[in-house]
Structure 1
Amino acid sequence: MIRIGIILGSTRPNRNGPQVAQWVLDTASRRGDAEFELIDLRDHPLPHLDEPVAPMFGPSVHEHTRAWGERIAPFDGFVIVTPEYNHSAPGVLKNAIDHLFAQWADKAVGFVSYGAGGGVRAVEHLRLVCSALRMADVSHQVTISVLTDFENYTAFKPGDHHAAALNTLLDQVVGWSTALAPLRHAAAETTLINS
Structure 2
Amino acid sequence: MAHKLHIIIASTRPGRVGPKVANWIFEYAKEHGKFEPVLVDLADFNLPVYDEPHHPRLQQYQHEHTKAWSASVNAADAFLFVTPEYNYFAPPALVNAFSYVFKEWKYKPAGLVSYGGVSGGLRAAQSEKLLMTTLGVVPLAEGVAIPMVGQLINAEGQLVPNDLIIASAKGMLDELIKWSEALKPLRSA
- The two structures have a TM-score, normalised by structure 1, of 0.90
The one-letter code of the counterpart of 1:131 is T
- Which structure has the highest helix share of the two? 2
Given that 2:120 and 2:149 are in contact with CA atoms closer than 8 Å, whether structure 1 keeps it comes out as no
State the number of aligned residues. Answer: 185
C-alpha distance in 1, partners of 2:150/2:44?
30
C-alpha distance in 2, partners of 1:182/1:10?
32
Aligned to 2:47: 46
**Range that drifts further, 139-148 or 103-112:** 139-148
Given that 1:9 and 1:17 are in contact with CA atoms closer than 8 Å, whether structure 2 keeps it comes out as yes
The offset of 1:31, in angstroms, is 2.1
The offset of 1:146, in angstroms, is 2.2
Q: Pairwise mapping of residues 45-194 of structure 1 onto structure 2 (< 5 A)?
A: 45-116=46-117, 117-146=119-148, 149-150=151-152, 156-186=159-189
The offset of 1:148, in angstroms, is 7.1
C-alpha distance in 1, partners of 2:71/2:57?
16
Aligned to 1:23: 24
The offset of 1:53, in angstroms, is 2.2
Q: CA RMSD in A?
A: 1.6
Q: 1:95 to 1:12 in 2, by over 3 A?
A: same
Q: Which runs of 5+ in 2 are unaligned?
A: none
**Range that drifts further, 164-173 or 57-66:** 57-66
Say which one has the larger Rg.
1
Identity of aligned residues (%): 40
The offset of 1:155, in angstroms, is 6.1
The offset of 1:63, in angstroms, is 1.7
- The two structures have a TM-score, normalised by structure 2, of 0.92
Q: 1:99 to 1:165 in 2, by over 3 A?
A: same
Segments ≥4 residues shifted beyond 4 Å? none
In the TM superposition, what whole-angstrom CA distance separates every residue of 1:40-65 from its partner, at most 9, and x where no partner exists? 11211111001112211342122210
Given that 1:3 and 1:35 are in contact with CA atoms closer than 8 Å, whether structure 2 keeps it comes out as yes
In the TM superposition, what whole-angstrom CA distance separates every residue of 1:89-128 from its partner, at most 9, and x where no partner exists? 1101111111011110000001000111110110111000
The one-letter code of the counterpart of 1:88 is F
